[in-house]
Structure 1
Amino acid sequence: METSPRRRLHRLLPVPVPSAPLHDARTATVVGRWLGLTVGLCFATGLLSHVLQHPPHWLVDHLPSRPAWGYRLTQGLHVASGTAALPLLLAKLWTVYPKLFVWPPVRSARHALERISVAVLVASAVFELLSGLLNIVQWYPWPFPFVPVHFAVGWLLVGAVLLHIAVKWPQISDHWTRNAPGTRGLPAEDGPDRRSLLAGLGAAVGAVTLTTVGQSFTPLGKLDLLAPRHPGHGPQGLPVNRTARAAGITTVGPDWRLTVVGPRPYDLSLAALRALPQHEVHLPLACVEGWSVSARWTGVRVRDLLQHAGAHPHARVRVVSLERHGAYRVTEMGPTYAADPLTLLALRLNGQELSLDHGHPARLIAPNRPGVLQTKWVTRLEVL
């Protein structure tokens, strides 16, 4: 039997697919609420991390050195919340993706502005979380410096989130509670219900968190399956991000000396440094990539070295490494760190002489301080 032209044309045209119930405003609101909490926590802790790494000039003298575990906690939360946000972001995009490809793409000037704001929101969220994930594994497949760009896009993301909430607030408020219109009585043939989706999403977030957070929360270290660093793995029981070879330091000769520059400058050999009163502290080494491990450090208090050089009690200190290249070969400490009795020029780690990868012959260790600023292979202290 010959098919009529109308029937043939109907076969060629796309058949409209009914909108799945899980691609609705209620599901998007619930997932967005979870995502907003994780992104907010990630931004707040990331802001603290940036201030500790790159403090503005007016804040250097006021950065706190206590609690000693402060940076370990905030940076661990930063990486954990950013990692947890990844499956939440994917779920959020899945719930709203039909609206991302509506036709026509622009219906009015107001609609165009809304679409642009959504594009900025999606692009900044994807970039921020993926670049943070790649930073954890120390892979940088881009030509720009990570830290300033990641910091700037973080502010862009927060601005885009606030703008999105302001524009969508009427719809968000309408679907904030379970009694919102259209959230009950979903037919079985439409696929999994909202509770199943949210339970699966919660399980995914929990699995990602449990298999990565052990790199900073050491009681869960045995579950640390997906993180690039593992507590207790590395020279002398501590992970190493930048080895001596990567820093261009293959050996430290017997002529190494520590130079302390101040009103009364002086030099010390390694033997003379070991002969000074030694102190032992228990401090975490907390890295910006999210891993942290507590250890026993033994060495000379920095404040004693500075006092011998005639430094003012509230002086800043510049710390210089033997390393010739690298963004953190020269660092500075404010007076709160320099005067803290827990801040050491460490010579020993867990009862053993420092290995070359951990900064032999001497390295800095201070409380509540990012790992990149715990300078290794120290050769010079300058009173500022």
Structure 2
Amino acid sequence: MIIPNMHYADLKESYLFYNIAQKTKAYVEAHPGTHLYRMGIGDVSLPLCDAVIQALHEAVEDQAEKERFHGYMPETGAPFLREAIAGYYGERGVSLSPDEVFVSSGASDELGDILDLFDRDSAALVIEPAYPAYVDANVMAGRKIVHLASGEENGFLPAPDDRLEADLLYICSPNNPTGAVFRREQLQAWVDYANKTGAVILFDAAYEAFIEEEGLPHSIFELEGAETCAIEICSLSKTAGFTGTRLGYTVIPKALVRGGMNLNEMWVRNRTTKTNGVSYIIQKGGAAVFTPEGQKQIHANIQVYKKNAACLMETLDALGIWYCGGKNAPYIWMKCPDGMTSWEFFDYLLHEIQVVGTPGEGFGACGEGYFRFSTFGSVEDTKEAARRLAKLLKK
């Protein structure tokens, strides 16, 4: 008899974005020809930049020539890409060796896979509201989850709580879904807490490129002592439009040791056992992101999404609605008006003005009463959605 992983029975009945897709599908079927203004899922709308496209074409041509053909790539990443990423960190004053950088097929994959490094008896602390995969991946593993609530009173950026015991600490900054960003002293408190307790921080930096305020840390390794307590997981999906191309990277310092085991060495062993690496073509495209021209081009695209955020923020300001995020993140987290629940507000926007967002309740219990907008849509759709939102809520 095959025994399944019974922890799957502990998962919520369906995934947040699946629910949204089903509701929008039903609406479109009932209202054929209706245009929806989609600001829910965080998928990009601008194409890959020219520097990346050129590198991808060159890599394809390499694969057509025997002298330049590449088969299996190193499981931990091509040296040229690991070196480029280490150089990117160096520009921000973070010293990494290339073999502390691991190339992945994306942050979402890595956030689940990285749990292989930790015993299932270890407890995971999740700051809520949170990206649902943090919770679900640990539920699947049968791991105890400690929930740390956040709210308006702390700007959705809570401090460590000595009363909570956990071995893994999930921190996402800029945050998904709230768009809030930890200040240096706030993040330092978490680093100090992890080093004091022996916990390991899993730092999700997927949106670091959206930070524009001086003094806000882009990487946890900008903080003193982080190299002995943190793993950083990054993505090129939102930074450079790789949502359909799939590429990310993970930083595990050689100084990170727990129970006499070196986590960098453990991850080398894991990757060389469980993967065959990321394709040469995709890694060549990724390396182009870290060139001067690539950086210039991806930040031009990011500015388009920033203008979308500014448009929505201006609307919410005029309406007098509380929100956070937007300035240093591609997400805006607003309070639902008139005491509506987040799913009630979702249905209200969908049926009244054909705008699709994401109900806060889907990110944890303390997300109830809040709503997330993604700013990755087209400029035209964002402006029209903001106009409709303003007209509807002025009522």
TM bin, normalised by shorter chain, reads under 0.3
Q: TM-score, normalised by structure 1?
A: 0.20
TM-score (norm 2): 0.20
Larger RCO (alpha carbons 8 Å, 6+ apart) = 2
Task: Select the structure of larger CA radius of gyration.
Answer: 1
